[in-house]
């Protein structure tokens, strides 16, 4: 079983909703059942009881200041201790930055960390999402692989992935390896030095021909986790 931890603030959804569609996509790709757990319910004990082979942490459009920090304590403990392979995307990736770059127990709220302000003449594509004046990546972007890793097997040094974000991790967390970057985002991909804990700013779960790198990354992740049904 693969555990999918949803970073959406809301806890309910239906079969037409994003979490359900992503669950089906991960199940089709891995051949394994996927269970959804809300981030506020995730902690070392609840995850151990679920007995997953792998953990996938989703993105979310919810701004960081809208997230109650106390609801993240259990997930923070999990990220600092688990040896179960983890792949966190977009906001899940930013969560790794928040958890390892600061002490969540001392934070009243978590800030959004935009990539940059718009340059003169750039279209304000983020305005529709409430991010006026800031650069918003909503396209396929080229990332440069800085260091080889099993999760990147079969990919060229420069590969194209799907981006949909305006924030980023500003500083590589201590104890992490920098795996990839893009022209606008420094920390596109990171990995813990000693544990299979990965963060990707882009959406590896989204791909379309001819840009299939995200699919390859997920297959590699499920394979290294022993979660890919043969």
86/96 Cα distance (integer angstroms): 11
Whether 203 is catalytic: yes
pLDDT of residue 13: 63
pLDDT at 126 over 90: no
CA distances 6 to 57, 116, 160, 211, Å, are: 6, 27, 25, 25
- Catalytic: 205? yes
pLDDT in tens, 14-52: 555 578 899 999 999 999 999 999 999 999 999 999 999
Q: Which two tokens stand for residue 221?
A: 């992740």
If we measure between CA atoms, which residue out of 87, 211, 68, 79 comes closest to residue 143?
A: 211
Rounded CA-CA distance 162/175 in Å is 26
Percent with pLDDT over 90 in the chain = 89
In this structure, are residues 220 and 54 in contact, taking their beta carbons and an 8 Å threshold? no
* Average pLDDT, rounded, for the chain: 94
pLDDT at 18: 77
- Report residue 12's pLDDT band, with 50, 70 and 90 as the boundaries: low
| More confident position, 138 or 195 | 195
* Residue 185 maps to a domain: yes
Task: Tell me, yes or no, whether 230 lies in a domain.
Answer: no
Residue 208 has pLDDT above 70, yes or no: yes
Q: Which of 98, 131, 168, 205 is catalytic?
A: 205
Predicted pLDDT at 14: 56
**Averaged pLDDT for residues 115-137:** 89
Query: Catalytic: which of 131, 165, 203, 206?
Result: 203
pLDDT at 19: 86
Residue 17 CB: number of other CB atoms within 10 A?
A: 13
Q: Which domain holds residue 160?
A: 2-225
User: Phi and psi for 93 in degrees, rounded to 5?
Assistant: -65, -45
Distances in whole angstroms, Cα of residue 53 to Cα of each of 42, 89, 226: 15, 18, 7
Q: What are the tens digits of pLDDT across the range 60-105?
A: 999 999 999 999 999 999 999 999 999 999 999 999 999 999 999 9
- Residue 97, domain member (yes or no): yes
Can you give the CATH number for the domain in which 169 is found? 3.40.50.880
Close Cβ partners of 206 (under 8 Å, ≥ 6 residues apart) = 162, 164, 214
* Cβ-proximal residues to 3 (8 Å cutoff; 6+ apart), any chain: 34, 35, 37, 47, 50, 52, 54, 55, 56
Q: How many domains does the chain have?
A: 1
- Cα 189–Cα 194–Cα 199 angle in degrees, nearest 5: 20
- Show the DSSP H helices in the chain as ranges: 18-30, 44-50, 73-81, 91-101, 213-225
- The answer on pLDDT for 178 being more than 70 is yes
Query: In the chain, what are the helix, strand and coil shares in percent, each to the nearest 5?
Result: 30, 25, 45
Q: Indicate which residue of 90, 99, 185, 187 is catalytic.
A: 90
- Could you confirm whether 168 is annotated as catalytic? no
Residue 216 lies in a domain: yes
């Amino acid at each position: 079983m693969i555990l999918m931890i949803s970073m959406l603030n809301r806890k309910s959804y239906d079969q037409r909703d994003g979490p359900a569609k992503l669950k089906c996509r991960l199940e089709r790709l891995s051949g394994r059942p996927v269970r959804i757990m809300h981030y506020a319910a995730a902690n070392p004990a609840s995850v151990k009881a679920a007995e997953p082979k792998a953990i996938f942490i989703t993105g979310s459009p919810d701004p960081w200041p809208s997230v109650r920090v106390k609801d993240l304590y259990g997930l923070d403990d999990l990220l600092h201790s688990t040896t179960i392979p983890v792949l966190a995307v977009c906001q899940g990736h930013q969560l790794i930055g928040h958890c390892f770059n600061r002490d969540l127990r001392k934070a009243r709220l978590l800030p959004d960390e935009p990539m940059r302000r718009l340059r003169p003449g750039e279209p304000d594509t983020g305005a529709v999402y409430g991010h006026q004046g800031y650069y918003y990546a909503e396209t396929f972007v080229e990332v440069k692989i800085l260091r080889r890793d099993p999760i990147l097997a079969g990919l060229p040094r420069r590969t194209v992935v799907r981006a949909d974000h305006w924030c980023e991790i500003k500083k590589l967390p201590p104890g992490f390896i920098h795996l990839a970057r893009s022209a606008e985002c420094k920390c596109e991909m990171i990995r813990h030095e000693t544990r299979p804990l990965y963060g990707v700013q882009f959406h590896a779960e989204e791909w379309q021909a001819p840009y299939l790198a995200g699919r390859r990354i997920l297959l590699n992740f499920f394979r290294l986790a022993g979660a890919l049904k043969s």
